[in-house]
Amino acid sequence: MKPVVKKLLGSPLVGALTSPLSVDDYLALIDRRLSLREPRGRVSAVARQTPDSVTLTIEPNDNWTGHRPGQHLLLGVDLDGVRHSRCFSIVSAPGDPLIEVTVKRNGDGRVSNFLVDHAERGQLIYLSPAEGDFCPGPSVPESALLISAGSGITPVMGVLRDWLARDLVQDVVFVHYARSATDMIYAAELAALDARHPGLRVETVYTAEGGGRIDAAALDARVPDLAERETWLCGPAGFMDAAEPLVRARSNRPLHREQFAATRREAAHGEGAVQFVKSDIAASGENGSLLEVAEGAGLKPAYGCRMGICHACKCRVSEGTVRDLRTNRVRDVRDTDLQLCIHAAAGDVAVEL
Amino acid sequence: MGKPTHLSEADIAEFGRELDAVRDEVMNDVGERDARYIHNILATQRYSEVVGRAMLMAGFLPPAWLSGVGLLSLSKILENMEIGHNVMHGQWDWMNDPALDSGTYEWDNTCPSDQWKHSHNYVHHTFTNIVDLDRDLGYSVLRMSEDQAWEPRFLVQPGIALTLAAFFQWGVALHDLEWERIGKDKSWSEVGTQARGIWGKVRNQLFKDYVAFPLLAGPMAPFVISGNFAANFNRNIWSFMIIFCGHFTDEVEMFDVEETRDEARGQWYLRQLLGSSNLDGSVPFHILSGHLSYQIEHHLFPDMPSHRYREIAPRVQAICERYGLNYNTGPLSKQFGGVVKRILRMSLPHRRKGNTLADESSVDAPVYAEAA
C-alpha cells in the first residue's frame, strides 16, 4: 500500500465511514493480506531441504517492521476453521525484505506439520511483530562460538547471516548437532559458507551416525579456545541443559541462549480454586495452566501460541497467587494482566473472564 | 401456564440428555465448513453494503435508489441478525479469529455490544419468558402475558408497538438502562456510564449514515440520507417482526418465578423450548432472520454456529414429539398474526382462560405414553 493511501485509509473520516467495522474488514474484500496495522504475509517461495522440513519465504505487508538477528515471530494459519499460531525463528538477515523460516515436523504440532505437508505459494500467513533478544546489540565479537542442535540451527543461522551480510565474520566456530545428514537443514549453505569464508569453521556432528552427543571431551577437542569466545546457543531443552553448563565452565564471556517452547519445569498443575469473575464460574486450579482451566470450565478465552510468547491470552487477574510455569516462581498478584497459558494457580485466583 | 405436567423429573432429565447429545455432536464437528459459511456471509454483507451505498450516490435515478436501499437493507440486516447477534453469543469464538470474537465485536446498532450482552445474552437467555425476570417480555413497555398486571397505560400499547417497530434499534439501545430500577437499586452514576456508551454508538451511526456519506455524495446527499434512513427503517421493522415472533406467538408459554426456581438442565431446556417459537421458510429467509427463525434451537444452544440450527431442527422436533411436547412453528404470517393478536388482547384488562399449553399438552400426553 502506498503511504499516502495508507494515511488516507487510516484517517478518522474513513474510520467513521467503516465504523463500527474496521477498514481491514473491507480491505479483506480485495486481499486478506491488506491491513492498516496487522502484519500479514504471503508465502512467496517454498523449498523442502529435507523430507521432514519446509523452508518458507514470506513476503510481509508493510506493517512488518523488520527484525533483529536471531529473533522469532508467530506464524498464524487457519486450520479446519481455527486460527492457530506458533513461534518460529527468522533465518533471513535483517536487511532482507523477505522473511525466511524453516519449519520442521514436530510430533503433534499442528501448525508445523501443516506447513511441512501443505505449505504452498500464495498462502496467507498471519504474522506477529518480531520478538526476542538472542542478539542484544549490533556489535560482533572478535571470536564467537555458535552451537545449535536440530531446528535450533535456525536462529543461529539468522545471526550468522547477519554477520556475513555486514562482512564482520573474523573468527567464528559453528558447531551443529543433527541426527543424520539427510535430516540436516541448511547443510548445503553451511558447507558453501565454510569453504568460502576463512574466518568461519563449521563442525557438523551427526548424533545418530556415531557423532555422539555433546560432552566435555568432544567440546574441548572441537573448540579448544572456548574460553576466549562469546557463545550463542540454541537447541531442544535436553540439549540446552547439557550444553549450557559445559560452556559456562569453560568461558566467562557472554552466553546468549534461545530456547523454543517455554519448558515447564514440572507438570502444569496448580492448586487452589480459580474463580472466573465475569462468568461466575468456579473451577479447581489443578488441571493445568489457567488457560486450560478456563477452557475446561467451558470458557473460550482468546489464545495464540499457548507457550508464553504471543500475549494473545493475556487477561486481568483481580487477585491471587500464581505460579509462572516457565520459572516455577510463585507470586501474589493483584489487578495484573497475565498470560494465562504460562501461569497456573498456586492458591486461590480470581480471573476476570 | 408453565411447564407440562405429563413428564416426570426423570423424563425431563432424559430429555435434557438427548438434547445435550445433539449439542455435543455438532460442537465436536465444527470446522472448515462452518468457517466457509461465515466468511461467505461476511463477504456478502460487505459487498452489498459497498454496492448499496455506491448506488445511493446515483439515487436521483429511482431504480438506483431502490436497489441501493435494498442492498443496504440487506447488508444492515445481515450485520445485525446473522453476524452481530450471533458473534456476540460466542458462536464463532472457536475460530480464534479476532474479527469474530464475542468479547470485542461491535455491531452496527445504537446499542453498545457490552450492554446488549448483558440484557440479551445474560438476562433474556437465562430467564427466558419468566414474568418479572425476563425484561424482553414486553421490553417493559408492553404487556405480553396475563401474568403481568394490567395497567391503563397498556390500552395504547398497539400504538406503542408500532412505534417500537419503526424505531426498534433505539428501543434496544435504551433497554439495558433498566429505567424501572433507576434510583432504586441502580445508581445514577451507573446509568451515566451506560448512557455515555449509548451516546458513543448513536453519534457514530448518525455521523456515518447522515453526515459522512451524504458529504461524500455532494449534491446527491438528499438521496443518500433518505436511502440510509430507509435501510435503517427496514432493518428496524424486520428485526422487530422476527424477534417478536420468537417469544410472543400464540402458543408460547410464560413462566412464573416460583416454578423455575432451582431448575436442572433438562428443565431449563424445557422452558427454552416452550418459551420459544420458530418460523418456517426458505434458506435465504432463515439467513436474513439470523437463524432466529430457529428460535427454539437458538435458545437451546445459543452458542452453536447459527447455520447448524437448520440441520438439527428435524432432530430437535423429533425429540420433542417423542416427549409429547409442543414444537411451536409456522409461517411468518401465522406466527406474526399470533403476535399481533397477543399485543391487542393484552392491551385489555380481561384474562383469557384455558389457552395455556399445560392444557394442550395434557391432550398430547397419550402420544408420549404410547411412545414410551
Q: Which of B43, B93, B96 sits opposite A29 (nearest CB)?
A: B43
Dihedral sign of CA atoms A83, A88, A91, A95 in order: positive
Query: How many residues are listed for chain B in this entry?
Result: 372
User: B269-273 long-range contacts, Cβ below 8 Å, gap at least 24?
Assistant: B269/B15, B269/B16, B269/B19, B269/B300, B270/B3, B270/B4, B270/B7, B270/B12, B270/B15, B270/B16, B270/B325, B271/B3, B271/B128, B271/B129, B271/B130, B272/B128, B272/B296, B272/B299, B272/B300, B273/B299, B273/B300, B273/B320, B273/B325, B273/B327
- Alpha-carbon distance of B293 to B238, in angstroms, equals 12
CATH match for A273-351 among 2.40.50.140, 3.10.20.30, 3.40.50.300, 3.40.50.620: 3.10.20.30
Contacts of A84 in chain B (CB under 8 A): 96
Q: Is residue B48 in some structural domain?
A: no
**Which chain A residue has its CA at the smallest distance from B216's CA?**
A17
- Alpha-carbon distance of B265 to B74, in angstroms, equals 37
Contact criterion met (CB < 8 Å) for A26 and B34: no
pLDDT over threshold 70, residue B366: no
The alpha-carbon gap from B347 to the nearest alpha carbon of chain A, in Å, equals 38
Residues B199-247 pLDDT 10s? 999 999 999 999 999 999 999 999 999 999 999 999 999 999 999 999 9
Residues B21-58 pLDDT 10s? 999 999 999 999 999 999 999 999 999 999 999 999 99
For residue B68, what is its C-alpha cell? Answer: 441501493
Contacts of A25 in chain B (CB under 8 A): 42, 46, 99
Q: Give B168's pLDDT tier (boundaries 50, 70, 90).
A: very high
Contacts of A16 in chain B (CB under 8 A): 204, 207-208, 212
Contacts of A24 in chain B (CB under 8 A): 99
Q: Is residue B246 in some structural domain?
A: yes
Q: Supply the range of the domain harboring residue B15.
A: 9-28+109-371
CATH match for A143-258 among 3.10.580.10, 3.40.50.40, 3.40.50.880, 3.40.50.80: 3.40.50.80
Residues A221-257 pLDDT 10s? 999 999 999 999 999 888 999 999 999 999 999 999 9
Count A/B contacts: CB-CB distance under 8 Å.
Answer: 65
**Which chain A residue has its CA at the smallest distance from B53's CA?**
A17
Contacts of B216 in chain A (CB under 8 A): 17
Q: Which of A29, A81, A303 sits opposite B30 (nearest CB)?
A: A81
Contacts of B31 in chain A (CB under 8 A): 80-82
Closest alpha carbon to A60 in A82, A77, A35: A35
- Which tops the pLDDT comparison, B147 or A179? A179
Contact A85, A72 (CB under 8 A): no
Give the mean pLDDT of A89-118. Answer: 93
Give the mean pLDDT of B342-355. Answer: 77
pLDDT over threshold 60, residue B134: yes
Q: Which CATH code fits A38-132?
A: 2.40.30.10
Would A143-258 and A273-351 be classified into the same CATH topology? no
Q: What percent of chain A has pLDDT over 90?
A: 72
- Alpha-carbon distance of B129 to A264, in angstroms, equals 49
The half-sphere exposure of B285 on its side-chain side, counting CA atoms within 13 A, is: 11
Strand blocks (E) in chain A: 40-47, 53-60, 72-79, 82-89, 99-104, 124-127, 143-149, 171-178, 200-206, 230-234, 255-258, 273-276, 281-284, 314-324, 330-339, 343-351
Q: Which of A20, A80, A81 sits opposite B106 (nearest CB)?
A: A20
The half-sphere exposure of B175 on its side-chain side, counting CA atoms within 13 A, is: 30
The A-side interface with B (CB below 8 A) comprises 13, 16-17, 19-22, 24-26, 28-29, 78, 80-84, 300, 302-304
For residue B235, what is its C-alpha cell? Answer: 432493518
Q: Give A310's pLDDT tier (boundaries 50, 70, 90).
A: low
Contacts of B35 in chain A (CB under 8 A): 78, 80-82
Contacts of B96 in chain A (CB under 8 A): 82-84, 302-304
Q: Is residue B98 in some structural domain?
A: no
Beta strand A273-276 with A343-351 is parallel
The alpha-carbon gap from A82 to the nearest alpha carbon of chain B, in Å, equals 4
Q: Which of B96, B98, B99 sits opposite A82 (nearest CB)?
A: B96
pLDDT over threshold 50, residue A100: yes
Q: Which residue has the cell 455521523?
A: B207
- pLDDT recorded at residue B351: 55
Give the total number of structural domains in chain B: 1
pLDDT over threshold 50, residue B363: no
Contacts of B33 in chain A (CB under 8 A): 81
The alpha-carbon gap from B31 to the nearest alpha carbon of chain A, in Å, equals 5
- pLDDT recorded at residue B358: 41
- pLDDT recorded at residue A204: 95
Q: Which residue has the cell 494482566?
A: A337
Contacts of B201 in chain A (CB under 8 A): 20
- Which tops the pLDDT comparison, A85 or B57? B57
Give the mean pLDDT of A125-129. Answer: 95
- pLDDT recorded at residue A264: 45
Q: Which of A21, A25, A80 sits opposite B31 (nearest CB)?
A: A80
pLDDT over threshold 90, residue B360: no
- pLDDT recorded at residue B371: 35
Q: Which of A13, A25, A300 sits opposite B93 (nearest CB)?
A: A300
pLDDT over threshold 50, residue B132: yes
- pLDDT recorded at residue A197: 95
Contact criterion met (CB < 8 Å) for A21 and B108: yes
- Interface with A, mutate which of B24, B29, B96 (most A CBs under 10 A): B96
Q: Which of B94, B96, B204 sits opposite A20 (nearest CB)?
A: B204
Residues B77-96 pLDDT 10s? 999 999 999 999 999 989 98
- Alpha-carbon distance of A10 to A1, in angstroms, equals 12
Give the mean pLDDT of A128-138. Answer: 89
How much is the ipTM here? 0.87
Q: Give B353's pLDDT tier (boundaries 50, 70, 90).
A: low
Return the exposure string of A341-351: e unless at least 16 CB atoms fall within 10 Å of the residue's CB, then b.
Answer: bbbbbbbebbb
Contact criterion met (CB < 8 Å) for A82 and B94: yes
- Alpha-carbon distance of B365 to B372, in angstroms, equals 11
- Interface with B, mutate which of A11, A17, A21 (most B CBs under 10 A): A21
- Which tops the pLDDT comparison, A261 or A350? A350
Contact A353, A297 (CB under 8 A): no
Start-to-end CA span in chain A (Å): 38
The alpha-carbon gap from A16 to the nearest alpha carbon of chain B, in Å, equals 6
Contacts of B94 in chain A (CB under 8 A): 81-82, 300
Contact criterion met (CB < 8 Å) for A29 and B47: yes
Strand blocks (E) in A90-215: 99-104, 124-127, 143-149, 171-178, 200-206
Q: Could you state, in order of their start, the residue ranges of all structural domains in chain A?
A: 1-35, 38-132, 143-258, 273-351
Contact criterion met (CB < 8 Å) for B35 and A29: no
Q: Is residue B164 in some structural domain?
A: yes
Considering chain A, what is the average pLDDT of its residues? 91
Q: Which of A17, A25, A28 sits opposite B213 (nearest CB)?
A: A17
Residues A189-227 pLDDT 10s? 999 999 999 999 999 999 998 888 899 999 999 999 999
Q: Is residue B276 in some structural domain?
A: yes
Q: Is residue B63 in some structural domain?
A: no
- Alpha-carbon distance of A43 to A242, in angstroms, equals 36
Considering chain B, what is the average pLDDT of its residues? 91
Contacts of B93 in chain A (CB under 8 A): 300
Q: Give B352's pLDDT tier (boundaries 50, 70, 90).
A: low
